[in-house]
């Protein structure tokens, strides 16, 4: 069957219009970029066959042409963002250093701004490989290059609380605030850094490793799940944590708690080998440990929720910081029935929360007094007067600047 006959069989004209080809090309670019797929996809015989089945009239671009199309699209999007930035008096900027799976260091810069239609926009401006030492001077240099290239106006930045980030923005003279999500992360990391917690987490990791490396033990767990657990929990695997991310440790503990009945059933099953039985005996939580883990999970959950709230991308979150601090402060009040390990963790949290979360207090108060939902300070009445004074001082400063500007233009 010819291409023309096939097209007629679909009730279409024998030739695609220029607009249709452009739409299909754009969809292809969105697929490549959106799913981070390799450009070699257009040379894959199965993908070619698939697109032929969809519409034999559409010819996939060559790999070289695809790269040219991607470069052109990048330039178009860059010019669009530059044009929108021109209309802004200032932008929010976030800067983050991270390491790839191949242990290469990168810096990513993102801006947040409001366009002429009063829509909140966010754009990743650059991801640069950082060679050599990650000094504040080197970070400041890359940020300066980014600012000049994009024509960024006044900047208020948010970064993590690393010393090199602080140093970079001091050198640049740009206003910077430490990320509250990162501060919460530091609070939890330091609070959990006690021997008793390390022991509980260590046992959990060994337990997870056993089931991840033994298919027969995993199969037996599935059998016990079907007998002892609700249907929506059947098939759940244990979750391995990453020691540098406390929220993954929380996920690991929650899953172990969910699977405790099935895990205990596996531990006493006669089918398992002696070595597996010994490992399970040493790693499945005792009743006392289970009670502690339950308390620990209950304690950490509000911190996870708080992190999710303050790390919103498309809406300002500074107005939510103080209400969150108030709620977290109530969570970490010691209870009469708290076991010693939970009391120790809460004590460290109480110390850390005052040191870390109350930095930039004036900014936090200003955010609350300007928010219609928090301006009455019903959640913290004793701070209302201080917030009003901060607002008066800020407004007074703005008026002084305006007067100076007017005098300068006369």
**51 pLDDT exceeds 50?**
yes
State how far the Cα of 104 lies from the Cα of 129, in Å rounded to an integer: 7
State how far the Cα of 110 lies from the Cα of 112, in Å rounded to an integer: 7
CA dihedral sign, ordered 134, 82, 179, 240? negative
Which helix (DSSP H) or strand (DSSP E) does residue 48 occupy? helix 45-54
Burial of 91 (0-12, 13-18, 19+ CB in 10 A): buried
pLDDT digits (tens, 9 = 90+) for 118-145: 888 889 999 888 887 888 999 999 999 9
Q: Name the pTM for this structure.
A: 0.77
State how far the Cα of 369 lies from the Cα of 388, in Å rounded to an integer: 7
Express as a percent the part of the chain with pLDDT over 70. Answer: 91
Q: How confident is the model at residue 117 (pLDDT cuts 50, 70, 90)?
A: confident
Q: How far apart are the first and last CA of the chain?
A: 80
pLDDT digits (tens, 9 = 90+) for 359-389: 678 888 888 998 898 999 998 899 999 999 9
Q: Choose the most confident range, by mean pLDDT, from 1-15, 280-294, 350-364, 396-410.
A: 280-294
CB 231 within 8 A of CB 240: no
pLDDT digits (tens, 9 = 90+) for 53-103: 999 999 999 999 999 999 999 999 999 999 999 888 889 999 988 888 788
Q: What is the pLDDT of residue 8?
A: 46
Q: What is the pLDDT of residue 3?
A: 46
State how far the Cα of 262 lies from the Cα of 265, in Å rounded to an integer: 5
State how far the Cα of 262 lies from the Cα of 228, in Å rounded to an integer: 6
Q: What is the pLDDT of residue 357?
A: 65
Q: How confident is the model at residue 356 (pLDDT cuts 50, 70, 90)?
A: low
CB 318 within 8 A of CB 156: no
State how far the Cα of 138 lies from the Cα of 153, in Å rounded to an integer: 21
- How many Cα atoms sit within 13 Å of 156 on the Cβ side? 12
Express as a percent the part of the chain with pLDDT over 90. Answer: 56
Q: How confident is the model at residue 298 (pLDDT cuts 50, 70, 90)?
A: very high
15: DSSP letter: S
pLDDT digits (tens, 9 = 90+) for 145-192: 999 999 999 998 999 888 999 999 999 999 888 888 888 888 898 898
CA triplet 193, 196, 202: central angle to 5 degrees? 85
Mean pLDDT on 291-308: 94
State how far the Cα of 344 lies from the Cα of 332, in Å rounded to an integer: 11
């Amino acid at each position: 069957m010819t291409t023309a006959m096939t097209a007629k069989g679909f009730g279409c004209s024998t030739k695609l219009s220029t607009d249709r080809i452009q739409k299909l090309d754009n969809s292809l670019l969105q697929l490549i970029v959106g799913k981070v797929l390799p450009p070699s996809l257009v040379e894959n015989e199965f993908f070619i066959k698939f697109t032929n089945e969809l519409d034999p009239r559409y010819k996939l671009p060559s790999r070289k042409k695809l790269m040219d199309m991607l470069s052109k699209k990048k330039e178009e999007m860059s010019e669009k963002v530059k044009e929108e930035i021109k209309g802004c008096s200032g932008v929010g900027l976030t800067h983050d250093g991270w390491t790839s799976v191949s242990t290469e260091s990168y810096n990513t810069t993102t801006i947040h701004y409001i366009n002429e239609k009063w829509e909140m926009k966010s754009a990743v401006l650059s991801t640069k490989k950082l060679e050599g030492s990650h000094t504040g001077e080197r970070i400041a240099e890359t940020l300066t290059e980014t600012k000049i290239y994009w024509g960024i106006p006044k900047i208020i930045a948010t970064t993590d609380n690393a010393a090199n980030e602080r140093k970079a923005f001091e050198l640049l003279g740009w206003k910077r605030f430490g990320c509250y999500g990162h501060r919460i992360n530091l609070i939890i990391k330091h609070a959990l850094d006690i021997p008793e917690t390390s022991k509980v987490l260590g046992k959990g990791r060994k337990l997870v490793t056993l089931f991840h490396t033994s298919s027969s033990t995993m199969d037996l767990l599935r059998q016990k799940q079907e007998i002892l657990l609700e249907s929506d929990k059947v098939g759940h695997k244990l979750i391995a944590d990453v020691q540098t991310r406390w929220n993954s440790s929380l996920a690991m503990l929650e899953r172990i708690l969910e699977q405790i009945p099935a895990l205990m059933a596996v531990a006493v099953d006669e089918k398992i080998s002696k070595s597996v039985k010994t490992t399970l005996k040493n790693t499945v939580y005792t009743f006392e440990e289970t009670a502690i883990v339950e308390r620990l999970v209950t304690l950490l959950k509000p911190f996870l929720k708080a992190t999710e709230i303050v790390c919103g991308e498309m809406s300002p979150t500074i107005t939510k910081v103080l209400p969150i601090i108030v709620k977290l402060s109530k969570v970490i009040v010691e209870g009469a029935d708290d076991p010693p390990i939970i009391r120790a963790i809460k004590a460290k949290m109480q110390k850390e929360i005052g040191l870390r979360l109350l930095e930039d207090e004036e900014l936090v108060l200003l955010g609350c007094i300007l928010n219609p939902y928090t301006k009455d300070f019903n959640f913290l009445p004793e701070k209302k007067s201080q917030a009003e004074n901060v607002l008066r001082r800020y407004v007074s400063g703005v008026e002084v600047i305006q007067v100076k500007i007017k005098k300068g233009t006369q």
